[in-house]
Chains A and B, each alone.
Chain A
Amino acid sequence: MLRMLIVGLAACATALGAQAQTIKIAILGPMSFVQGENHWAGAEMARDEINQAGGVSVGGKRMQIELIRADTNEMTSVPDATNAVERVITRDKADFLIGGFRSEAVLAMQEVAMDYKKIFLGAGAAHSKLGANVEANYERYKYWFRYTPTKDVDLARTLFAVMGSIGQQIRTELKTDTPKVALLAEKAVWTEGLIAAAQKNLPAMKMEVVGLWQPSATATDVTAELSAIDRAGAQIVFTMLSGPVGISVGRQMGERNMKAVAWGINVEGQKDEFWKAAAGKAQFVSTLDTYAEVEMTPKTIPFVQAFKKRYNKAPTYNAATYDAIMFLKANIEQVGSLDADKLVAAMEKAEHVGTGSIVTFDKRHDLVWAVGKTAGIAVQWQDGQKVPFWPPSVKGMKPFKLPAR
């Protein structure tokens, strides 16, 4: 008992002593899921890289980075997520927060972080409301920045840019004037704006919308939807899917030998496991993505290679926690302190060249959208490989393929 007490006291003492020299960054994510795994993996890489290079220099003093791994359990419980935020702030004395994925939970987590005026860099949730809060009540929400992804409205701009080039390819290869597009969107608020934009923009882009199908985000069977799409004679299936339904779409399209090609957002399709999860049937499924071995920025290829070497799989967009930490480091070194208000002012003006994007923030603390900077890339699954094909301006892109007729 006494020995435990002494050990405990000693641990406290070292913790207190250590506190003076470390910057504590809490990584918040659903740690049993791919999103959380990537949050943590990206952060670990940044920490090791910074600490091995001597740490962060804060006003002439060298400080090491200490990560706090906090499982938010946000997939199943919103209160658990807010409790985790409260815990890392008040118990673990975290200086900065990075992470979050499920929008409903992140909205609640944002509130707690703002109560304590802690800088919170979002690395997963896309909903506009998070940034709209900053605009509506700047003094309270200014500590929130969405480091990744771009907000849902901007995702649409990327999607239509790519859609335009795929449409062109279909026109020439299939000798048709107006390619037929089926909209397949999971029933969710984030797809609403995209659907409306698609129904308005696609006819203007000389494409015909043959219908809208909305399965639930957690559906695992889309055979009924797909046979209806098949019957409508669609050539492109415009997917807006974040849940497991993305896998079923890929797989079942392959199983029924559909001639249509899938393009859009398919979050599951961004993962390395997608090909196997779809039982090797998801040939030519394409999706918006963040990381590939292309020269998006000078840092992209080395990062992706190092990540693959360390974790045996490619990073997803949630691994931008790496960039977020690097971004923090740059700003801390520039300001010379950990003071949140000073850092917010600096971060608003900063431009950061990260591994997946070149980042600047607007007045909502959302990413400023630009092709080749934050718009991301488009990838297509071809024979088990995730092949990048857009934007054409970036080095290392390969051609987009259509199913054989």
Chain B
Amino acid sequence: MLQDILVTGLVNGGVYALLAIGFSLIFGVARIVNIAHTAFYMLAAYCFYTLLTKTNLGFVLSGLIAVGAVTLFSVLCYRLVIEPVREHEAAVLIATIALALIFQELMLFSFGGHFLGIPSTLEGSVRLLGVSIPYQRLLILAVAAAMLAIVWYLLYRTRLGLAIRATANDLEVANLMGMNVHRVAMATVAISVSLAAVAGVVVAPVFVVDPFMWLAPLVTMLAIVVLGGLGSLKGSLIGALIIGYVEAITVFAVPAGAYLKGAVALLIMVIVLLARPEGLFGVAFEEER
């Protein structure tokens, strides 16, 4: 049982980390609570599905096109919908909710409420510590690790990363230092959504694709991000693993209570917040004025 918990928790944690880090990034840099984040993940899954089943592009090309298209689309959405109301925090919030609803309804309209399945990128499975793990899951783990490495490199080894971190640290000073904070925000949106899109492409073959698939991971992702500390990438990564393991332990320890895994994860989040209101790795509140 221990092996099962170790492996399952790690794989699920990897998926969550992909989603949570992107969300955390855009919050840290632009203070946008992007409710539509997982809706982009859904769009990528649908896009990948369509390309894969309607064309002969193959997995890699379909995946790349899906990620690219969704990322471009997100930048477009940001320019058209979010940027004009950036001044108004509340308006940004419901703009992202409205965007998510629009995506959901568009998919419902064009694909119906059917549950769609995407063929696995890699067939077959491997036995590890006596647990059978499909290759697809290992792929997810590998992609998650690779993406995290890329993001780390981007943030800490490039000029753009420096700009993003500076903006996250203090928007006004970054602006005064002559940085184009709008462009930095846009780049962050693109990075953040591309992470969600990658998640959509690699994870979708494991789950089912349907117009409401963005809601459940949204809640889990928010729990992780709050748990780890908003805007903290390290926090998101560790939060994702914590929630992944908490869910796995719930399922294995109380099989008849498997449905409670979501509620237990949220409960953990609430408990952590009570003890540490800024999350595990969040920056303690500076009184923002």
Chain A–chain B contact at Cβ < 8 A: yes
Using a CB–CB cutoff of 8 Å, the interface residues on chain A facing chain B are 30, 32-34, 37, 75, 186-187, 211-221, 223-225, 227-228, 230-231, 244, 247-248, 251-252, 255-257, 268, 271, 273, 276-280
> Please, how many angstroms separate the alpha-carbon atoms of A193 and B118 in the complex?
34
Chain B residues near A186 (CB-CB < 8 A): 259
> Please, how many angstroms separate the alpha-carbon atoms of A230 and B120 in the complex?
21
The answer to whether B112 and A251 touch across the interface, beta carbons within 8 angstroms, is: no
The answer to whether A33 and B113 touch across the interface, beta carbons within 8 angstroms, is: yes
The answer to whether A224 and B210 touch across the interface, beta carbons within 8 angstroms, is: no
The answer to whether B259 and A219 touch across the interface, beta carbons within 8 angstroms, is: yes
Other contacts beyond A221-B207, A224-B8: 11, CB < 8 A: A34-B113, A214-B257, A216-B262, A224-B247, A224-B252, A228-B255, A247-B115, A256-B134, A268-B115, A276-B117, A280-B119
B67 to chain A, nearest CB (A): 21
Q: Which of the residues A33, A212, A244, A277 comes within 8 Å of B112, measured between beta carbons?
A: A33
The answer to whether A256 and B259 touch across the interface, beta carbons within 8 angstroms, is: no
Interface check B176, CB cutoff 8 A: no
Q: Which of the residues B4, B114, B216 comes within 8 Å of A224, measured between beta carbons?
A: B4
Residue from the set B114, B118, B132, B208 with the largest chain A CB neighbour count within 10 Å: B208
Q: Which of the residues A187, A212, A230 comes within 8 Å of B132, measured between beta carbons?
A: A230
CB proximity to A under 8 Å, residues B1-42: 1, 4, 8, 11-12
The answer to whether A277 and B115 touch across the interface, beta carbons within 8 angstroms, is: yes
> Please, how many angstroms separate the alpha-carbon atoms of A145 and B120 in the complex?
44
The answer to whether B248 and A224 touch across the interface, beta carbons within 8 angstroms, is: yes
17 CB < 8 A contacts A-B: A33-B113, A186-B259, A213-B251, A216-B259, A221-B12, A223-B11, A223-B137, A224-B4, A227-B8, A227-B132, A228-B251, A244-B115, A244-B210, A268-B115, A271-B114, A279-B119, A279-B120
The answer to whether B119 and A212 touch across the interface, beta carbons within 8 angstroms, is: no
CB-nearest residue of chain B relative to A256?
B132
Interface check B158, CB cutoff 8 A: no
> Please, how many angstroms separate the alpha-carbon atoms of A37 and B114 in the complex?
11
CB proximity to A under 8 Å, residues B257-278: 257-259, 261-262
Given known contacts A221-B207, A227-B8, A214 and B114 CB-to-CB distance under 8 angstroms: no
For the complex of A and B, the 5 pairs showing the least CB-CB separation, nearest first, are: A187-B259, A33-B113, A224-B251, A216-B259, A277-B117
CB proximity to A under 8 Å, residues B192-210: 205-208, 210
B202 to chain A, nearest CB (A): 14
The answer to whether B125 and A247 touch across the interface, beta carbons within 8 angstroms, is: no
The answer to whether A247 and B117 touch across the interface, beta carbons within 8 angstroms, is: yes
B265 to chain A, nearest CB (A): 12
The answer to whether B216 and A220 touch across the interface, beta carbons within 8 angstroms, is: yes
The answer to whether A247 and B208 touch across the interface, beta carbons within 8 angstroms, is: yes
CB-nearest residue of chain B relative to A36?
B113
> Please, how many angstroms separate the alpha-carbon atoms of A34 and B115 in the complex?
10
Chain B residues near A268 (CB-CB < 8 A): 115
CB-nearest residue of chain B relative to A37?
B112
CB-nearest residue of chain B relative to A273?
B114
> Please, how many angstroms separate the alpha-carbon atoms of A215 and B116 in the complex?
20
The answer to whether A277 and B208 touch across the interface, beta carbons within 8 angstroms, is: yes
The answer to whether A248 and B207 touch across the interface, beta carbons within 8 angstroms, is: yes
Residue from the set A257, A276, A280 with the largest chain B CB neighbour count within 10 Å: A276
CB proximity to A under 8 Å, residues B225-268: 247-248, 251-252, 255-259, 261-262
Residue from the set B117, B119, B210, B251 with the largest chain A CB neighbour count within 10 Å: B117
A196 to chain B, nearest CB (A): 13
Interface check B109, CB cutoff 8 A: yes
The answer to whether B4 and A228 touch across the interface, beta carbons within 8 angstroms, is: yes
Provide the B75-113 mask, 1 if CB < 8 A to any CB of A, else 0: 000000000000000000000000000000000110011
B12 to chain A, nearest CB (A): 7
CB proximity to A under 8 Å, residues B142-183: none
Q: Which of the residues A32, A221, A276 comes within 8 Å of B113, measured between beta carbons?
A: A32
Chain B residues near A34 (CB-CB < 8 A): 112-114
> Please, how many angstroms separate the alpha-carbon atoms of A228 and B132 in the complex?
11
The answer to whether B216 and A211 touch across the interface, beta carbons within 8 angstroms, is: no
> Please, how many angstroms separate the alpha-carbon atoms of A47 and B252 in the complex?
52
Given known contacts A186-B259, A219-B259, A278-B117, A32 and B112 CB-to-CB distance under 8 angstroms: yes
The answer to whether B258 and A215 touch across the interface, beta carbons within 8 angstroms, is: yes
Chain A residues near B69 (CB-CB < 8 A): none
> Please, how many angstroms separate the alpha-carbon atoms of A227 and B131 in the complex?
7
CB-nearest residue of chain B relative to A220?
B207
Chain B residues near A217 (CB-CB < 8 A): 259
Given known contacts A224-B8, A227-B8, A276-B117, A214 and B255 CB-to-CB distance under 8 angstroms: yes
The answer to whether A255 and B134 touch across the interface, beta carbons within 8 angstroms, is: yes
CB-nearest residue of chain A relative to B12?
A221
The answer to whether A215 and B259 touch across the interface, beta carbons within 8 angstroms, is: yes
Chain B residues near A30 (CB-CB < 8 A): 113
The answer to whether B255 and A277 touch across the interface, beta carbons within 8 angstroms, is: no
Chain A residues near B262 (CB-CB < 8 A): 216
> Please, how many angstroms separate the alpha-carbon atoms of A219 and B112 in the complex?
19
Given known contacts A32-B112, A244-B208, A257-B132, A214 and B258 CB-to-CB distance under 8 angstroms: yes
> Please, how many angstroms separate the alpha-carbon atoms of A219 and B11 in the complex?
16
> Please, how many angstroms separate the alpha-carbon atoms of A342 and B210 in the complex?
45
The answer to whether A32 and B108 touch across the interface, beta carbons within 8 angstroms, is: yes
Interface check B213, CB cutoff 8 A: yes
B267 to chain A, nearest CB (A): 15
Residue from the set B1, B207, B247, B262 with the largest chain A CB neighbour count within 10 Å: B207
B214 to chain A, nearest CB (A): 12
> Please, how many angstroms separate the alpha-carbon atoms of A21 and B49 in the complex?
48
CB-nearest residue of chain A relative to B53?
A276
Chain B residues near A223 (CB-CB < 8 A): 8, 11, 137
Given known contacts A228-B251, A231-B4, A32 and B207 CB-to-CB distance under 8 angstroms: no
Q: Which of the residues A212, A247, A273 comes within 8 Å of B256, measured between beta carbons?
A: A212
